[in-house]
Chains A and B, each alone.
Chain A
Amino acid sequence: MSNYSIPDGSPSKPGKESKGTASNAKYYLPAGMPAPLAEPAALFGPYWEGTRNELLKVQRNPETGVYQWPPQWIAYDTQSFDLEWVEVEARGLIYSWTRVWHPIHPAMKDAVPYLIVVVELPHAGGVRMLGNLLGDPLQDVEIGAEVEAVFEHHNDAEPPYTLVQWRAST
């Protein structure tokens, strides 16, 4: 099993891990997965800059307080192009999930099964995000269960990036 279980405790802070020595075992999934590119920057930049600093940011319409995710160029409720980015608490509820058993990417050949969760953020208008559920890939997954974000720093990547992962709240 190459899936990495983040140890219990507070999420690691940026710089805490030794740079340049990152092995694949630091990450939930093995190396070779496509890395996120913060493009178009005007649309996705604030989110990816936020995760580097362990902040979860989503788009909001400043006029109405309506959240939207993934980011859009325009607010769907007022058709305004003036959108703001706000930090939201990095926790949520499991809305749905799948456990993947069939590797369709060569890098995943020996990395199955793994868990993908859809996480709803009730405190941010119910927007949803995706991620892996850390821990035992064979664990029981409960829809409605509380999860908190774990910022998975890929400091050895070029450019470095940080994925938002999830783990059951303690």
Chain B
Amino acid sequence: MSNRSLRGKVAAVGVGETTYYRHSQAPEAEFVLCLKAILAACSDAGIDPRDIDGFASFSDDRNDPMALATALGIHELRFSNMQWGGGGAGVAGALANASAAIVSGLADCVVVHRALAQGQFGRFGQGAQVPMVPGEYALSLPYGQMSPAQFFAPKAMRFMHDHNVGQEALRAIAMASYHHAQANPRAVMYGRPLTEEKYDESRWIAEPFHLYDCCQENDGAAAIILVSAERARDLQQTPAFVLGAAMGSTFRVPSSPSSTFAAPDLGSSHFKQCARRLYEMAQLEPEDVDVVQCYENFTGGVLMSLVEHGFFEPEEAMDFLKLENLIAPTGKLPLNTSGGNLAECYMHGLGLQIEAIRQVRGQSTSQVPNVDVSLGVGGPMSPPVSTILYGSEATL
């Protein structure tokens, strides 16, 4: 066995989040939200916030480590890191980077954080209102392709065409998130269930995405604290050990979302190679996974991500992606058990990672029985993508 592995060497020991808000409705500054999520994670872990010695984030988070370290009175900052990639593609990558820092001895206690206050800083799902655009943007924006839904819709459309996947598969993914959100008081869509009829009657955003295929935009913050496996065992929470992680891209996927159309493998979430490395490091197979949190900026991404993580063949999608298979506690592959980006909160996937950890601890509001292996898949479609597996002590 290669020694160059994260397997069993690091654990998530603290998770924290603020109240999740609809976009632009946070009553506090983004930086304050970020601090509060970090403090909540410290309190959950039972550690002094000043003992954090590393910060890792993704998606160009605006809350920089020096500002956080100064504000929190961190004794000694030893590690700071930003994972490349847009949206939540890098969420598991940030967790992997934090893990690697701990394994390599660069740091002992790293917090992964993400905070969003879109009232303060502007929305994601809005088009560029500029008179002229250069470079690759000029190849798509003048045609009215300018939002994430519009960039990614043709990817899902092509995959669905190639493999005869119908709208019902996307609907089941959306309904699983909304189903689980009804048990989760943190979820923004708590108390707002989704029915098949409501989905079918909802307006199109960009075909094949209905309104309910698209994530929310939210304000709030989330944080996860990682320490070495040895130290994790002395802390107050059941550790969720990192079993494996991977990040990257497939061949020649353009960096700009505005030239998404040029990716040679268009109908893809770009996890094909990543997922293989993930399972190799974890020494596991898809069949070993008990529960999945899979980033849904759009349901089409989940469809392709699940296929590329080996849970079913593309041609089996219509059989597999049925609501009864996707819901806790009885489903074959419970999916997005907190409500996910669609119905809990779009914290660029960090909420999904917290949920993956809670499933290992047995603390989910839609708990799957006896979880040993819990998968957290980062944002699809805009690489570098990333993915991570957590496990219980029994998996080591």
Contacts and interface: CB of A to CB of B under 8 A. Distances in A.
Given A34-B141, A130-B139, A104 B126 contact: yes
Interface stretch (B128-136, B286-294, B356-364): B128-136
Nearest to B205: A102
B184 to A, nearest CB: 27
A106 interface: yes
Interface stretch (B45-53, B81-89, B142-150, B187-195): B142-150
Interface string A14-41: 0000000000000001000111111110
Indicate the member of A34, A69, A100 with the most B CB atoms within 10 Å. Answer: A34
Contacts of B207: 98-99, 101
In the complex, which range does the number of interface residues on chain A fall in? Answer: 35 or more
A68 to B, nearest CB: 9
B71 interface: no
A26 B145 CA distance: 19
B79 interface: no
Contacts of B144: 29, 33, 100, 105, 108, 111, 114, 116, 132
B147 A104 contact: yes
Contacts of A143: 157-158, 161
B252 interface: yes
B259 interface: yes
Contact of A100 (B128, B138, B141, B206): B206
A116 B157 CA distance: 12
Indicate the member of A35, A40, A96, A114 with the most B CB atoms within 10 Å. Answer: A96
A153 to B, nearest CB: 13
Indicate the member of B133, B154, B204, B266 with the most A CB atoms within 10 Å. Answer: B154
A163 interface: yes
Interface in B22-47: none
Contacts, number: 135
Contacts of A81: none
Interface string B205-226: 1111000000000000000000
B264 to A, nearest CB: 8
**Chain B interface helix/strand/loop/mixed:** mixed
B236 to A, nearest CB: 45
Contact of B157 (A48, A69, A97): A97
A74 interface: no
A101 B205 contact: yes
B348 interface: no
A168 interface: no
A95 B158 CA distance: 7
A85 interface: no
Given A70-B139, A143-B158, 8 more contacts: A36-B133, A48-B138, A96-B155, A96-B266, A100-B144, A105-B128, A116-B150, A118-B158
Interface of B: 125-147, 149-150, 153-155, 157-158, 161, 203-208, 252, 254, 259, 261-262, 266-267
The 5 nearest A-B residue pairs measured at CB:
A36-B138, A105-B127, A98-B153, A96-B154, A96-B158
25 contacts: A29-B142, A29-B144, A33-B141, A33-B142, A33-B144, A34-B141, A34-B142, A36-B133, A36-B139, A38-B134, A44-B138, A95-B154, A96-B261, A96-B266, A98-B157, A98-B208, A102-B206, A104-B127, A104-B146, A108-B144, A111-B144, A114-B144, A130-B261, A132-B143, A143-B157
Interface of A: 29, 33-40, 43-44, 48, 69-70, 76, 95-102, 104-106, 108, 111, 113-114, 116, 118, 127-132, 143, 163
